A = this chain, B = another copy of it.
Amino acid sequence: MATAPKLTDLSVGDMAARSGVAISTLHYYEDLGLIESWRTPANHRRYDRRELRRVAVIRVAQSLGIPLSEIKSMLDRLPTSRAVRKADWQKASERWKDELELRILVLQELRDQLDSCIGCGCLSLEACPLYNEQDKVASRGSGPVLFDERVNPNKT
């Protein structure tokens, strides 16, 4: 609510068109607190243009397999005032770059071991590096999740 309504602000339809994200998804992101809007007297959403960047960042982060909850906590670390600077984004994106780096490394390891491992039978053993590697990337729920909040997936 540090928002000073401007005529150049975007409607949800504009946002959808410009970001390539469905209106329903924008609503959803807003419910989750990932983006922010003010309302016109008619209760229509209006978004500061900067929210476009937020949406873009959200989508990019998602493509890295980062869950929305993580994305939110990253975005929450940005200054809440409207004056988010280059430096803020860069700092925030650093963490994802590291994550990305790690992800690449794990995948490369996986790939390098695929030849020497998958056909050799060791895949059935706890000792197999490929199989164990999986635990570091493995998903709970769906999709690869490299981030924390790793509950032990089964308690034997």
Q: Is the interface of A mostly helix, strand, loop or mixed?
A: helix
Chain A residues numbered 81-117 whose CB sits less than 8 Å from any CB in chain B: 86-87, 89-90, 93, 96-97, 100-101, 103-104, 107-108, 110-111, 114-115
Known interface pairs A53-B121, A119-B89, A120-B86; A22-B154 also in contact (CB < 8 Å): yes
- Of B87, B115, B123, the residue contacting A57 (CB under 8 A) is B123
Tell me if A100 and B110 are in contact (CB < 8 A).
yes
Contacts of A154 in B (CB 8 A): 16, 20-22, 25
Q: Is A150 an interface residue (CB 8 A)?
A: no
- Cα distance, A141 to B62, chains bound together (Å): 11
Q: Which of A1-9, A31-39, A132-140 lies at the binding interface?
A: A132-140
Whether A126 touches B63, Cβ cut-off 8 Å, given contacts A96-B114, A111-B104, is: no
Residues of B within 8 A of A49 (CB): 124
Give the chain B neighbours of A41 by CB distance below 8 A.
none
B residues less than 8 Å from A114 (CB atoms): 93, 96-97, 100
Assess whether A71 is interfacial by the CB under 8 Å rule. Answer: no
- B64–A107 CB distance below 8 A: yes
- Name the residue on B nearest A59 (C-beta): B134
What are 13 contact pairs spanning A and B, CB under 8 A? A16-B156, A17-B156, A18-B126, A21-B154, A53-B123, A56-B123, A59-B138, A60-B118, A63-B139, A86-B119, A86-B120, A139-B143, A142-B143
